[in-house]
Structure 1
Amino acid sequence: MSLNRAAHRPGATTGSPEGIPVTSVQAGAYEPPLLHPVHRIGARTLDFRRRVALMAIINRTPDSFYDAGRTFALGAAVEAAVQAVHDGADWVDIGGVPFAPGPAVDAAQETARVVPVIRAVRESSDVIISADTFLPAVAEAAIEAGATVINDTTGLSNPDLARVAAQGGVHLVITHSLAAPRTAYPAPQYGDVVAEVAEFLRRRSDYAQELGVSPEKIIIDPGHDLNKNTLHSLELTRRLAEIAALGYPVLAAVSNKDFVGETLDAAKPDRVEGSLAAGVASIMNGARILRMHNVPAASSAIRMTEAILGWRAPAYLRHNMGDSNAAAGA
């Protein structure tokens, strides 16, 4: 597969909303051949040629992977979502069931967990809202409450989910995973994990379109750690450009995952820096959405990366800009 690197000439400049020329030197950054670069998601428009969206994670579950129930209470979940928007999130992903193996949560219970949060956040913000679910009934209720994306971590295990997304006119995230929902998949084996994940996502994206989902509303996620070991997830991060080459915006869900912990020998509270490094590496390899827990740190990392790539101007220019420079660090 041929992967074209950035074609911008070193030293070329582009304009910015602030009127400040921004140097566009993108050596080493992969620019994916996006089939539909500009996405209108609810009230917001994202141009993924020059923008990375930050998705905040809101888990309304008592046994979530990272926060262990910190946002299970309704008030805590709504407060966390509103705070995430304040801290720089473009998007909040609201889920009521963990991906990890465990007992089934019926549609009524899951709906009762996620819909009040979606409704409250929608009333206060035009932020992008996704419902993290694989149940069509939950997706339908979430869309009615104001969700503009359905985030399916099971790779369309239920085709009716795609039909609901199509009927609702919302975006659909298709994630690579092998196991049936909430079941274990011991010692997963791949011949070439990246090639196999790419082929899975290509086939599932085609299937979603057969079920009525418009191609401009498809987002793909290689599923770091989902039925994959640490070596698989590192390989996916290193070769993420091969996933992005499919032409759909790529979501990288790398936050605080076990592949970060095992690589750095770090417990969950100590994985922030590793998660940010994995996120930046993903952006450089074509990811356009990062799903992260630690929103302020992730927002700073994303916006700094955008500035380095020439996509956004600095917030201000002062250092060495005048006749004299009395500031420290001259």
Structure 2
Amino acid sequence: MHFSCGKFQLDLSTPRIMGIVNVTPDSFSDGGQFNTTDKAVAHAMQLVEQGADILDIGGESTRPGATPVPLEEELKRVIPVINALAKAGVPLSIDTYKPEVMRAAIDAGVDIVNDVCALQETGALEIVAASQVGVCLMHMQGRPQTMQADPQYQDVVAEVSGFLAARLKAAEQAGIARERIVLDPGFGFGKRTEHNLTLLNHLSSLQSLGLPLLIGLSRKSVLGQVVGLSIDERIHASIAASVVSVMKGANIVRVHDVKPTVDALKIVSAVMKN
């Protein structure tokens, strides 16, 4: 299995790590730490040195209750970072749901669009289809401002799988080849703790869609609810979540803590290949 994304063909026979670069003042974990171009670029290059296979650059927080960022402000945050990382040597991903940001980021040289809205905004499908970038289609119940108010499911695995299958069909009909698509069940996006744990335990059900899976559990509240620790104390829980995700079928894990995750997944890969 491989992932075709812009200038890159990622071999997914071993798990890949997507390093998080939040150019925001209000992201749930590291908001404000890297919210200038210089700080974000330095952080991104450090993640590459630590073993990140992909850099995911975001200019708007999608944490529960987050305030939407105006288009021009989001562009001001992310485009200079993308330009500065053009020769980083790894695929660059833009974490956005806004079609205008997608277009500008693609023009600036990103290789992946990572969209929490799964290309449902008007024009998003067409913009991605007209390019060669890869795309991550994610499930979210509701919107970031309200998604954790009262999420409800009859069967969370079936409903998430059904949504992703529908978005996959829409993407293919728009002209986006399957090898350019990865799927994300959207941990923490309109889901209670029990929903997240059920999804994690049944990732193999999502594998039936026949596409790579990207998982983002790093430092999220579901981990805090399990271990009873604050955001900056969840590194060990995050690593455990990445290990479980890969052993359950994930191909890419999106993380803040790249180096320890790299080491942990080397062990997982060695065991699974033996």
Do both proteins adopt the same fold according to a TM-score greater than 0.5, normalized to the shorter chain? yes
The offset of 1:146, in angstroms, is 1.3
Residues 174 and 221 in structure 1, CA contact (< 8 A), matched pair in contact too = yes
Residues 78 and 121 in structure 1, CA contact (< 8 A), matched pair in contact too = yes
Q: Which residue of 2 aligns with 1:111?
A: 75
Q: Which residue of 2 aligns with 1:163?
A: 126
Q: Which residue of 1 aligns with 2:163?
A: 200
Q: Which residue of 1 aligns with 2:59?
A: 96
The structure-2 alpha-carbon separation of the partners of 1:278 and 1:303, relative to structure 1 and needing over 3 Å to count, comes to: same
Question: Structure 2 residue aligned with 1:253, among 184, 206, 216?
Answer: 216
Q: Write the letter of the residue equivalent to 1:222.
A: P
The offset of 1:47, in angstroms, is 2.3
Q: Which residue of 2 aligns with 1:228?
A: 191
> Which has the higher mean CA deviation after the structures are superposed, 176-185 or 275-284?
176-185
Question: Structure 1 residue aligned with 2:245, among 257, 279, 282?
Answer: 282
**1:47 and 2:42 matched:** no
Given the two structures, how large is their TM-score scaled by the length of structure 2? Answer: 0.95
Question: Structure 2 residue aligned with 1:296, among 259, 265, 271?
Answer: 259
Uncovered stretches (5+) of structure 1, i.e. residues with no partner: 1-36, 312-330
**1:309 and 2:272 matched:** yes
Q: Which whole-Å deviations, capped at 9, do the CAs of 1:241-270 have from their partners, x for residues lacking one?
A: 111221111000010100000001011111
The offset of 1:81, in angstroms, is 0.4
Q: Distance in 2 between matches of 1:150 and 1:182?
A: 22
Q: Distance in 2 between matches of 1:183 and 1:120?
A: 34
Q: Which residue of 2 aligns with 1:214?
A: 177
Higher-Rg member (1/2): 1
Structure 1 runs (4+) deviating above 3 angstroms are 180-185
Q: Distance in 2 between matches of 1:233 and 1:308?
A: 26
The offset of 1:126, in angstroms, is 2.0
Q: Distance in 1 between matches of 2:5 and 2:37?
A: 25
> Which has the higher mean CA deviation after the structures are superposed, 155-164 or 137-146?
155-164
Q: Distance in 1 between matches of 2:39 and 2:165?
A: 38
Residues 5 and 132 in structure 2, CA contact (< 8 A), matched pair in contact too = no
- Compare the two structures and name the one with the higher helix fraction: 2
The offset of 1:129, in angstroms, is 0.7
The offset of 1:183, in angstroms, is 4.0
Q: Write the letter of the residue equivalent to 2:141.
A: L
Q: Distance in 2 between matches of 1:61 and 1:152?
A: 17
Q: Write the letter of the residue equivalent to 1:66.
A: S
Q: Distance in 2 between matches of 1:306 and 1:159?
A: 40
Residues 225 and 258 in structure 1, CA contact (< 8 A), matched pair in contact too = yes
Residues 3 and 181 in structure 2, CA contact (< 8 A), matched pair in contact too = no
Report the count of equivalent residues.
Answer: 273
Q: Distance in 2 between matches of 1:79 and 1:47?
A: 26
The offset of 1:208, in angstroms, is 1.3
Q: Distance in 1 between matches of 2:195 and 2:69?
A: 29
**1:57 and 2:20 matched:** yes
The offset of 1:184, in angstroms, is 4.0
Q: Distance in 2 between matches of 1:244 and 1:175?
A: 14
C-alpha RMSD of matched pairs (Å): 1.4
Question: Structure 2 residue aligned with 1:132, among 89, 95, 106?
Answer: 95
Q: Distance in 2 between matches of 1:221 and 1:190?
A: 17
